[in-house]
Amino acid sequence: MSSLRLHHVSLPDHSGAYDLTVVDGHWQSVEPTPRVVPDDGVRTFDLGGRLLSAPFVDAHFHLDSVLTRLPNQTGTLREGIENWGKYKREHLSAEDVYRRATTYCERALAHGIQAIRSHVDVSDPRLLGVEALLQVREEWRDRIQIQLVAFPQDGFYATDKAEALLLRALDRGLDVVGGIPHHERTAELGRRSVVRLFDIAEERGLPLDFHCDESDDPHSRHVETVAEETRRRQLAGRVVVSHVTSSAMMDPYYLHRKLLPLVAAAGLHLVVNPRINVHLGGHFHHPAPRAMAPIKDFLAAGINVACAQDCNEDPWYPLGDADLLDVARMGAHLGHMMGREELATLFASVTTRAARAIGLDPEPLRPGQPADALLFAAPDPLEALRTAEHPVAVLRHGEWVIPPPPPASPS
């Protein structure tokens, strides 16, 4: 039986110091730090009051395009899709996807990411990305929990083969049904794609995650259809709408009186990708808008919001470093969220709120749960966001992936 004690840490949303014990890879106890540590022979790490948090969860990512580093001269979503299409036709192989995704996962784990929901492009008839990422999912199972979304990047009605390809990908064992209604040729095709994708997900008992209304069009309304299908089929909590950048441009009356109550009542999760949204959006307006869904308004309506990366060195975004603190910081700037509570909420948006959005345990630091955690040099979420340093230690299933640094010697 392996056991260890994490002595004297702070926890998000708690005051005071805590001790956590681990037995056989699971938390055994979470208690206020005692005056005297028991002399019970358990290996004890004195962590000096630093922040111990749930792991980072990246609720929206693309492992098949990561690290391709394709140029995008206009900085638009459309050029990104075109350049990725060309790359798929001319260069993509299963080995290529496997190699890039594996390299990225090594970096992600070192930076504290222990779960990734990755969309996988299923528009390519060879389904090379699907095969490669199924292998990556399996090989990384014990270190990073990877969920794969069947994502019809070019559109569900782009060709008459798209539905068959999506079904084939799901047959291979993908976890989530994806869609991109705003990218279909007409709004009506977008609406129909949502309904059909719900049928498919319902038949298979799978959750759904849409790239939804990712445009500067204030009249893009597919999130309405997603909300209504979720309500009608009683799938509250099982459906994510990602991006919804159109909501940054909408008429405030419609947003507040119609859309937000509809989304809240349906129980949708919103995943915002602050860096990508502000980079790809707002090109056709002057002055340029922020192009990110108004996080505060969604939260105030009672909607769970997660922030995610989306891209890292790919056709849509040339930067990125598997860094979810940077994502939360961008959310704070673009969302006018610098209050103490708001910053704590943004820290949760890349940890526990993100976990909830993709169906994982939103309260993993409690007895009986797998002992997965991050240790920061900072003492609390605000300071972690301010300093923007990667975690100094990473714990996975009760084992140190990166061990804590030795305590500073008294000067």
Q: DSSP code of 245? A: G
Choose among 405, 375, 336, 410: nearest CA to 55: 375
Choose among 184, 214, 144, 165: nearest CA to 396: 144
Looking at the Cβ atoms of 49 and 359, the one nearer to Zn ion is: 359
As measured in angstroms, the least distance from the Cβ of 312 to Zn ion is: 11
Looking at the Cβ atoms of 58 and 310, the one nearer to Zn ion is: 310
Q: Which tokens belong to 84?
A: 């990725």
The three-point CA angle 298-387-390 to 5° equals 85
Residues 292 to 311 in contact with Zn ion, rule: CB under 5 A: 310
Looking at the Cβ atoms of 212 and 371, the one nearer to Zn ion is: 212
- Neighbouring residues of 250: CB distance < 8 A, sequence distance ≥ 6: 218, 259
Task: For residue 295, give the H/E element and its range.
Answer: helix 295-300
Task: For residue 373, give the H/E element and its range.
Answer: strand 373-375
Looking at the Cβ atoms of 209 and 326, the one nearer to Zn ion is: 209
Neighbours of 236 (CB within 10 A): 13
For 284, counting Cβ atoms within 10 Å of its Cβ (0-12 exposed, 13-18 middle, 19+ buried), the class is: exposed
Give CA–CA dist 112/323, Å, rounded.
Answer: 9
- Unique residue bearing structure tokens 């994708």: 197
Looking at the Cβ atoms of 52 and 59, the one nearer to Zn ion is: 59
- Contacts by residues 406-410 (CB-CB < 8 Å, ≥ 24 positions apart): 407/46, 407/48, 408/48
As measured in angstroms, the least distance from the Cβ of 57 to Zn ion is: 15
DSSP string, 213-236: S-SS-TT--HHHHHHHHHHHTT-T
As measured in angstroms, the least distance from the Cβ of 308 to Zn ion is: 8
Write out the catalytic residue numbers. 214
Looking at the Cβ atoms of 255 and 276, the one nearer to Zn ion is: 276
Q: Which tokens belong to 298?
A: 């969604």
Give CA–CA dist 292/296, Å, rounded.
Answer: 11
Contact (Cβ atoms closer than 8 angstroms) between residue 240 and residue 296: no
As measured in angstroms, the least distance from the Cβ of 102 to Zn ion is: 20
* Count of positions on this chain that bind Zn ion (CB under 5 A): 1
Looking at the Cβ atoms of 22 and 240, the one nearer to Zn ion is: 240
Contact (Cβ atoms closer than 8 angstroms) between residue 176 and residue 166: no
Choose among 286, 291, 285, 181: nearest CA to 247: 291
As measured in angstroms, the least distance from the Cβ of 178 to Zn ion is: 9
The three-point CA angle 198-203-209 to 5° equals 35
Name the β-bridge partners of 45: 6
Residues 309 to 338 in contact with Zn ion, rule: CB under 5 A: 310
Give CA–CA dist 84/91, Å, rounded.
Answer: 10
- Unique residue bearing structure tokens 């079904």: 167
As measured in angstroms, the least distance from the Cβ of 327 to Zn ion is: 13
Looking at the Cβ atoms of 184 and 310, the one nearer to Zn ion is: 310
Minimal CB distance residue for Zn ion? 310
Contact (Cβ atoms closer than 8 angstroms) between residue 61 and residue 399: no
As measured in angstroms, the least distance from the Cβ of 124 to Zn ion is: 16
As measured in angstroms, the least distance from the Cβ of 406 to Zn ion is: 41
Positions that interact with Zn ion (CB under 5 A): 310
